[in-house]
Amino acid sequence: MEAARKGNIEVKDIRKTFPQADGPDIVVLDTISLRFNPGEFISLIGPSGCGKSTLLRLIAGLNTPDSGTIDLDGELIRAPGYERGLVFQDPTLFPWKTIYENIAFGLRARGVYRTGKQKIPEFFKLVGLEGFEKSYPHHLSGGMAQRAALARALVNDPKVLLLDEPLGALDAFTRMNMQDEILKIWERRRMTSLMVTHDVDEAIYMADRIVVMSARPAKIEQVITVEIGRPRRRDDPNFMELRARILQILHFAGSRQELQYYL
């Protein structure tokens, strides 16, 4: 499959700081190096504020590192690009546009709407929003709005899908349903997928590998391969064993107070 042969990400010696007006710069990422293989599903997890979303934004090209490089298929990432789709925790849909126009926005921004519009119905079907083309964002539930945001990210056929806590604002039942929907889309299209999450169960349920980051300034505590077959059961003894292992790592990566955030 062509999509599975693309989307190789190389993060090399990345350092990122943010200035403060009344004090020294805050070091968020400290010499981070990682490799994400084409078609993998990766979860990034770590103490609150450790720099997970910062790393994702660097890969998206929304921010630039102080030092180090990030390559996609051998090309240096310098700015945002359509080959990297990004979904935030807030769906960030344009409230004055219909769902169709929201999903079509990426094609219009690239100047390829006339040649690419015929595939838009495919993405409504892919995310289960058929019949809502003429609806507006305020007509949709939180889960449906996030489906629309996902379709908007996918319509440009990205090599890489970046998910910044995309399910964090949803209720537990909707969140589990959306986890399954995202996995179905990933299994069908096999783009490299990176998801920031604070939920250990979510990371285990969805990822091929889990990157556990330390407290700020972030370093890589451990990269764990999830050796549990798919589809996964949350009551699988191996699932529970891995959950306990990751929580133990997070205990040392953060603090006792932060640990309760993952439970």
If one counts every other C-beta atom within 10 angstroms of the C-beta of residue 106, the result is 21
Confidence of residue 261 (pLDDT cuts 50, 70, 90): very low
- What is this structure's pTM? 0.91
Residues paired with residue 194 on neighbouring β-strands, in sequence order: 42, 162
CATH number for the segment(s) 2-83+159-262: 3.40.50.300
Q: Are 53 and 65 in contact (CB under 8 A)?
A: no
Among candidate residues 154, 222, 166, 158, the one with its CA nearest the CA of residue 192: 158
- Domains of the chain, by residue range, sit at 2-83+159-262, 93-157
CA 220 to chain centre: 18
pLDDT tens figures, 95-154: 999 999 999 998 998 899 999 999 999 999 999 999 999 999 999 999 999 999 999 999
Share of the chain above pLDDT 70, in %: 94
For residue 21, what pLDDT is reported? 83
CA-angle at 177, arms to 160 and 189, nearest 5°: 30
Q: Name every residue whose Cβ is closer than 8 Å to that of residue 235 and which is 6 or more positions away in sequence.
A: none
